[in-house]
Structure 1
Amino acid sequence: MKTDSIFYQIFLKFPESFFDLIGESSDRVGDYQFTSREVKQLSFRLDGLFLPTVEETDLPFYLVEVQFQPKPEFYYRLFGEFFLFLKDYQPPYPWQIVVIYPNRSVEREQPLHLENMLNLPEVRRIYLDELGELAQESLGVGVIKLVVESEEESVPKAKSLIEQTKNQLPDEQIQKNLIDLIESIIVYKFPLKSREEIEAMFNLSDLKQTKVYQEALAEGEGIGRQQEGFNLVLRLLNRRIGQISPTLTEQIRGLSVEQLENLGEALLDFGTSSDLRQWLVENT
């Protein structure tokens, strides 16, 4: 499962979950816009940013990073990108960095060089397996924690979250978006399951009717031709122009087999992510 993409979609469609996660009031959602931002000089792309929507404010902006693999260089990259972002954009707000880990064993701190930075009050590190009661009390945090639930626990937990969504969210569009996210997580947590197996273990009519379920399972057993094409093109793009942002990844995921083949040929001429964006504008 592409965790960066999943978290990007969670925070984009249900930003209240982020503020619940960091212990801030979700009433502040209206004061922020969630986005991704490229750092120009070295073509870095930050996982996600919550930026205040008004300039004259004491509200901080939040740089959000999701790290599910142990990488010794992670904090060097993170702080390097962060300071380049400050240099490029000079946002008129105080700052907060929020790093989300599945558990502490993934983290690589690098205390020799970065201990003082990591101990700043502006740097928050969140471990999903330690959320405890917060994951029970907050619907949004529960959805986030679903990403790291075991296979055994994820299906009953997803059913419970869907019921909570129906009961707690009066807005039908927000309700639908969140149910789609829950079901996306479940479908992609079981990529090798057949249609019959998914239906049997989940057994919810809502799941069978959602777009994500139909698209994910229409490929048949295993990974279909479209998914193979997506995987290949994404690998080539990452080698050619660097890490692709979650937003662009989702656009590429939605391409047809023919479009993926055309992109596979066109990417040989790409030099930056701007070339990819322009191609997507012209061809989708």
Structure 2
Amino acid sequence: MVNVQNAHVQQFSVKTDTIFYNLFLEFPGILFELIDSDPEEATIYEFTSREIKQPSFRLDGLFLPTTEDAEKPFYLLEVQFQPDEALYYRLFGELFLYLRQYQPPHPWQVVVIYPTRRIEREQAFQFGEILALNRVKRIYIDELGETPSGSLGIEMIKLVIEDEETAPERARRLVAQAQIQIDDEASQRNLIKLIETILVYKLPQKSREEIEAMFSLSELKQTKVYQEALEEGEIKAKLAAIPRMIEFGLRLPQIAQLQDLPLEVVQQTEQSFQKQKVAAFLELLNNQRDLFSAQDLAQLQEWIAPLPDQIKDLSGAIAQWCNQESHTLQRQAWRQVLSDLWKATVESILKTYPKTLDLTSSPVTKQMVQQGIEGN
């Protein structure tokens, strides 16, 4: 078993959210290994979050089934590296608010990951019976035994709480194991990058270059595959930043110059974002109609009716309506949907870069918005 010290847990806990988020996002099968299920189950799940309307907050760490099989549970995942007397009050409160609002067609499961039992605060008086249910699984990383199959995912989680003295050696073994077991170059690269990130947090006295030298990562980063992936990541970040730069008042030629991108790509990205703003609002009207009162819908009709059938005018009016103080819930839900759509759009643009996409396919029109408002 892995030894863990209280001081070490306190020092490292502030970094764990990002690390575990990236771990489960990149390798979702880890969750199912932790609960003694087939890691292939991850292929029918989506790791995501959901907005809860009242009180307004985001429920993170959801594994939602992408299948209609009603026997497949959804999982609410919590990673807790610091003592928190109120954890179970918050966790189960959020769970039941989610159940009330979404009424999901799948049974719930809760998975809580602790570095050690000493961190947990059970609050047995209120939650003893719930915690004893098969629906609740508590994982203590320092009690995870050796994995016969040599699971990369489980070993990665152990690395998070490994002692500083032994962490480099465990990391070396993980890098070697990843290079043997993972055929996909991108997944292999992402896992090695996660290992490097964990060590940067665990060994603050060492520079990133020193940590790279431990595993010959400097040589790895000189390979053509790594360099191409690095360039792709940089372009993706530049594309994703364009809407924010427009909001700050920069003109498209300025953005193209600052981001070192072709002007036509910047223009297309801006047009795509305007289109997705309208598409996201349409999705709200169709799928979350209970967010809108009759008065809201009547007001929207008045806003949209005089506008020309132009995406920029429609998206501007929708943004202005959502940004009113009285439309906080709609604004939050709209931004969440828009964020998801925009991520997919950036990926599409990236696939054709530096060529531009055909924006004439799947048009979004004024008539579609009006029909959405009317509920047709």
| Separation (CA, whole Å) in 1 of partners of 2:216 and 2:189 | 18
Instruction: Please state whether the residue corresponding to 2:105 is helix, strand or coil.
Output: coil
Gap runs ≥5 in structure 2: 1-13, 231-236, 249-323, 347-376
| 2:73 matched residue in structure 1 | 60
Is 2:126 the partner of 1:113? yes
* Residue 91 of structure 1, aligned match among 88, 104, 113: 104
Is 2:195 the partner of 1:137? no
Q: Structure 1 counterpart of 2:47, which letter? A: F
Normalising by structure 1, we get a TM-score of: 0.71
| Separation (CA, whole Å) in 2 of partners of 1:98 and 1:198 | 32
Gap runs ≥5 in structure 1: 215-250, 263-268
Instruction: Please state whether the residue corresponding to 1:2 is helix, strand or coil.
Output: helix
| Cα displacement string for residues 243-262 of structure 1 (whole angstroms, at most 9, x for unaligned residues) | xxxxxxxx9xx98xx98xx8
Determine if contact 1:31/1:54 at 8 Å carries over to the other structure.
yes
| Cα displacement string for residues 191-223 of structure 1 (whole angstroms, at most 9, x for unaligned residues) | 343355435555543676679xx9xxxxxxxxx
Is the alpha carbon distance of 1:135 and 1:87 closer, same or farther for their aligned partners in structure 2, counting shifts above 3 Å? farther
Cα offset, 1:133, TM superposition: 1.1
| 1:71 matched residue in structure 2 | 84
| Separation (CA, whole Å) in 2 of partners of 1:206 and 1:91 | 48
Cα offset, 1:106, TM superposition: 0.2
| Separation (CA, whole Å) in 2 of partners of 1:90 and 1:66 | 24
* Residue 171 of structure 2, aligned match among 125, 143, 158: 158
Cα offset, 1:155, TM superposition: 1.2
Determine if contact 1:44/1:81 at 8 Å carries over to the other structure.
no
| 1:18 matched residue in structure 2 | 31
Cα offset, 1:21, TM superposition: 1.3
Cα offset, 1:24, TM superposition: 0.4
Is the alpha carbon distance of 1:77 and 1:118 closer, same or farther for their aligned partners in structure 2, counting shifts above 3 Å? same
Q: Structure 2 counterpart of 1:54, which letter? A: T
Q: Structure 2 counterpart of 1:21, which letter? A: L
Determine if contact 1:36/1:49 at 8 Å carries over to the other structure.
yes
| 1:198 matched residue in structure 2 | 211
Is the alpha carbon distance of 1:201 and 1:137 closer, same or farther for their aligned partners in structure 2, counting shifts above 3 Å? closer
* Residue 188 of structure 1, aligned match among 201, 204, 227: 201
- When the two chains are superposed, the root-mean-square deviation of aligned CA atoms in Å is 3.2
Equivalent residues in 2 for 1:1-284, closer than 5 Å: 1-134=14-147, 137-195=150-208, 197-199=210-212, 201-205=214-218, 274=332
Count of residues in Structure 1 that have an aligned counterpart in Structure 2: 233
Instruction: Please state whether the residue corresponding to 1:133 is helix, strand or coil.
Output: coil
Percent identity among equivalent residues? Answer: 55
Q: Structure 2 counterpart of 1:155, which letter? A: P
Instruction: Please state whether the residue corresponding to 1:134 is helix, strand or coil.
Output: coil
| Separation (CA, whole Å) in 1 of partners of 2:219 and 2:121 | 40
